[in-house]
Chain A
Amino acid sequence: MPTSSHALEAINVSRKYTRRDGSQIHALTDVNISIQEGEFVCIVGPSGCGKSTLLQLCAGLDSPTHGSIRTKGTPVSGPGPDRGVVFQKDSVFPWMSVLHNVEYGLRCRGVSATEREKVAKHYLHRVGLTDVVNAWPRELSGGMLKRVAIASVFANGSDVLLLDEPFGALDYVTRHKIHDVLLELWNESDRAKRTVLFVTHDVDEALTLADRILVMRGGKVVDNLRIEHQRPRNDEALAEPSMIAIKLTLLEHLGIGHAHRFLEGVKQ
């Protein structure tokens, strides 16, 4: 089987669930996506559109009813260090110090103590948490814990990063700051850019971060929007006409665009 250059692919993927009373839920229907190496792709969609399910399948934490997920051509059969995940819920282990949490992936793979401490401290420094290296997770705020989770995943060296609405619980300001942290880590100069698949319901977040936005609705991919803008995209950049047009398209897909159109029509 030749390895393709696609870092992550979903081929004709469907996922069905059966409720307690026997009826079926079609979480995903014939989804096809392909993500190149180094791309930052966001999936946007309303609640229940299947975006989190798709991410779970890519992570290998669940398997599709039909179709397959492949990474670099080989099918995915379970979770693994090649696809790092940042979860929506708090996944930082409370019984380990911050440092041990970031070292965890490296410990699983048997990296030596000195080496992994070096790597862990490096990434903790890059996310701005050098002061709390030996603290317990219960002593940290929500935003700091998210940074620990991100540092852990980066420290483990995964080529593919999967993020499932990771910043939903954070306040506006913390979320802004953590976007910068994430992009800065992603833009590493000393290695090839990692591939990122980022699920969110926040349209502005997607516009700030993504190279490409996939829109999902009712278990299907309904649009694929490319964003050419340079990063970092500050508020000025988000206010440019081309970006506004993309945003309106997204809002329309989410079912709340008609308000703007209505107002536009009224102005005329």
Chain B
Amino acid sequence: MFGISKERRLDHAGLTTRVIQPIRKILLRMRFDPLSIAGLILMIGGWFALLPVTPRSALPTPWGVMDAIVQKFWFHKTFAFYGLIDTGFFSALVYTTQNVLIAVLVGGAIGIVTGLIAARSSLVRAALDPIVLTLGTIPIIIAAPFLLLWLGGNRASAICTVGFYVAVILYTYAQRAVDNLNPTYEAAARTFGASRRSVLYDVLLPGTLPEILGGIRIALAGAWGLEAIVELLASQRGIGKLIRSITTASDIESLFAALLLLALTAAVFDAIVAVLFARITRWRLRPESN
């Protein structure tokens, strides 16, 4: 960015067109940045580098963690020994993932619809904004114990808790998306004689879609953490409960394994959602940056 880029010249006749350029085309389509991969490798390399200077009780070896993942993925007797319902990482992750997805879908839908309505009706906005701004900013670590005690620490209450925060996030995003939409688009549509329904379907919904989808992506990323903490506090199932039991046993390898698998699951879903949303909004204008 600060340096001045120079064109690299390859003197080998034909090498550029026959070998380099096709490879470049494939890489560009896959959107791989070699430096990004290098960054990942550096991180893993850092792990290896720290091994000789840290106690095994604090930093497990990568292969120790891999071992824990493989062994404890489907079923392991130690988990049954702890009295857990989820006797392997897989079933715990499935439970957590289901909760997250339901919470995001339902909470997201509620948040988006109310946000869109609030953007166009100042009465609704005046009524809902204070609720959202007070109840929504209570850190989940405070609200969770209450909600779980009141509603019972079952699956439905966990989903409701996470869903509430997702709704709050998307309410704000939807409102902001409508406010930020260039009013010229709507005005132009009206001059073409568009009906109110057409303005909603052909202008408002597609126009606010990129920002709302971005909000969904962020809410999804946050929902994993929310679900994890809810499970950590008071659940009988899920990866959070698993982590709790593992911690009590001070099993650092399994702890690393659990955290890595959780992060990986979240990352995979984030990537899927990113690609899906990018495809849906293929038309969007890109902002300038250096």
Contact = CB atoms under 8 A, between A and B. Distances in A.
Give the interface size bracket for B toward A: under 10
A78 B7 contact: no
Nearest to A24: B7
Contacts of A78: 4
B7 A18 contact: yes
B4 A22 contact: no
Nearest to A15: B7
B7 A21 contact: no
A119 B198 CA distance: 60
By secondary structure, the B interface counts as: helix
A63 B25 contact: no
A117 interface: no
Contacts of B25: 21-22
Contacts of B120: none
Interface string A59-101: 0011101000000000000100000000000000000000000
A63 B24 contact: no
Contacts of B24: 22
Interface in A1-27: 16-18, 20-22
**Residue of B7, B21, B28 with most chain A CB atoms under a 10 A cut-off:** B7
A65 B28 contact: no
B196 interface: no
B286 interface: no
Nearest to A63: B4
B6 interface: yes
Contacts of B6: 63
A20 B21 CA distance: 10
Nearest to B288: A89
B7 A22 contact: no
Contacts of B4: 61-63, 78
A17 B6 CA distance: 10
Contacts of A22: 21, 24-25
Interface string B6-48: 1100000000000001001100100000000000000000000
Contacts of A21: 25, 28
Contacts of A17: 7
A102 B223 CA distance: 49
Nearest to B20: A22
Contacts of A65: 7
B21 A16 contact: no
A78 B4 CA distance: 9
Nearest to B17: A22
A21 B23 CA distance: 11
B28 A20 contact: yes
A133 B7 CA distance: 44
B240 to A, nearest CB: 44
A62 B4 CA distance: 6
**Residue of A17, A18, A22, A61 with most chain B CB atoms under a 10 A cut-off:** A22
Interface string A14-47: 0011101110000000000000000000000000
A78 B21 CA distance: 30
A163 B2 CA distance: 21
Contacts of A20: 28
A78 B28 CA distance: 30
Nearest to B7: A65
Given A17-B7, A21-B28, 13 more contacts: A16-B7, A18-B7, A20-B28, A21-B25, A22-B21, A22-B24, A22-B25, A61-B4, A62-B4, A63-B4, A63-B6, A65-B7, A78-B4
12 contacts: A16-B7, A17-B7, A18-B7, A20-B28, A21-B25, A22-B25, A61-B4, A62-B4, A63-B4, A63-B6, A65-B7, A78-B4
The 5 closest A-B pairs by CB, nearest first: A22-B21, A65-B7, A63-B4, A20-B28, A16-B7
